[in-house]
Amino acid sequence: MADTRAQWGSRIGFILAAAGSAVGLGNMWKFPYITGENGGGAFVLVYLASILLVGLPIMIGEILLGRTSQRSTVGAFRKLAPGTAWAGVGWLGVAAGIVILSYYSVVAGWAMHYVYLSLTGSIAGQSADTLNQTFGGLVTDSSLNLMWHTAFMAITIAIVIGGVQKGVERAARLLMPLLLLMMGAMLIYASTLDGFGKALDFVFGFHTEALTGAGVLEAVGHSFFTLSVGMGAMLTYGSYLKRDDDLVGSAIYISVLDTLVALMACLVLFPITFTQGMEPAAGPGLVFKNMPIAFASLLGGGLWSVVFFSLLTFAALTSSISLLEVAASYFIDERGWSRKRAVLTIAGVIFALGIPSALSNSTEIFGSDFAALTAPAFEVVGVEAGKNWFDTFDYLASNWMLPLGGLGIAAFAAWRVGGEARQQSFAAGSSLGKVKAFYLAWLTLLRYVVPIAIILVMLHALGALG
């Protein structure tokens, strides 16, 4: 299979595709609002340290498993540890990709709707109350949610069905530079606003007053969530690498790009927030409530609103491509399905699974009744009473599937893969990877620091740490 397996057309193509997988709503939506909730400053510093000490080591290990095995997530564990239960880690990655994309597509649909509103002039000049009602109306409108969920999934399918080079890589080569260009334009615009200096101090000043132990663990947890590790995406993308490609250098570039976009997103959103006298601790509504209100009153706000929400949509799309590829690649590799059959079948399952998330806030069937029916089953894993389908899937993926997947990948790469084979694979094609001290530092982090960090994050999610 390794001789006929699809491969990236170039190393830069892999880096852009993998960075696209990492860069998504987690950077543009979640990181800014959790930074705002935790007071910026010290939280950002903890996050950066977590990327270096937790996220990057897992990413290197995950790509290493893919490149070494030349298989997707389930096949990699079957090849490297035949006849063992390790394949369960691969299955967890497939399940995580399916679950996450099912509700991720709904949020991406909200971004698409705001592009439409911006293009039609429905945001400019509107009052804060009207724009708050607009978002409330969107999340409770079943027809709108289903329409955008359908549209976003259709675009994702059209790209992934084209294959590794002609679909995934080609889209990454277009979308990632465009995303960075738009982000740069937004950052230049934000730097001209009165609130830019305050935003710089908020993000990079050493503010510790709002940082708690829970905030530290949230920063650690987000570090591997934002890098798209723990669900097999980097493993699958790594399996399309040539055996002498530099995986260590590539992982560093991917991490730097992902972190850069997250910080740039903060320096776009917070200057606008402070200029308009809004609170940075606005929570999830920071993007879909605060930003439209701000754009409505800013000079040229209509144009920047189009740019911003297009940027958000592109970021979501680059991640959704990898989520669908993880699940589809299993059936292509292990079941011998054609790419067309695998993509259409799995995408159909994901689309159907996403319908309840699209309707979570609009019908009693998937709203409070769903929460009441599922409470006994989910309370054992810490799901709070009253959560709907959307909230439940998000909770399970973020607090169970991804941490367990990351823990399994770290343990396998650090302990199960043979020492000599692991070191040779780590060093292949990389001058940095050949430095023994660097290899030993990576292995030490993967064996001891990463598992402890992930276990603490999971205990926090369960409420066991108070």
The mean pLDDT value of the chain amounts to: 88
Tokens linked to 79: 């090849």
pLDDT digits (tens, 9 = 90+) for 379-394: 444 445 456 778 788 8
- Give residue 375's pLDDT: 47
pLDDT digits (tens, 9 = 90+) for 141-166: 888 999 999 999 999 999 999 999 99
Q: Which of 146-175 are b and which e, b meaning 16 or more Cβ less than 10 Å from the residue's Cβ?
A: bebbeebbebbbebbbbbbbebbbbbbbeb
pLDDT digits (tens, 9 = 90+) for 182-223: 999 999 999 999 999 999 999 999 888 888 988 998 898 888
**Higher model confidence: residue 321 or residue 276?**
321
**pTM summary value:** 0.91
Close Cβ partners of 142 (under 8 Å, ≥ 6 residues apart) = 358, 359, 362, 363
pLDDT digits (tens, 9 = 90+) for 55-108: 999 999 999 999 999 999 999 999 999 999 999 999 999 999 999 999 999 999
Q: What is the DSSP string of 194-252?
A: TTHHHHHHHHHS---TT--HHHHHHHHHHHHHHTT-SSSHHHHHHTTS-TTS-HHHHHH
Query: Top-level CATH class of 11-106+147-286+309-461?
Result: mainly alpha
pLDDT digits (tens, 9 = 90+) for 219-256: 988 887 789 898 899 999 999 999 899 999 999 999 99
Domain boundaries, the chain: 11-106+147-286+309-461
Where residue 2 falls among pLDDT bands split at 50, 70, 90? very low
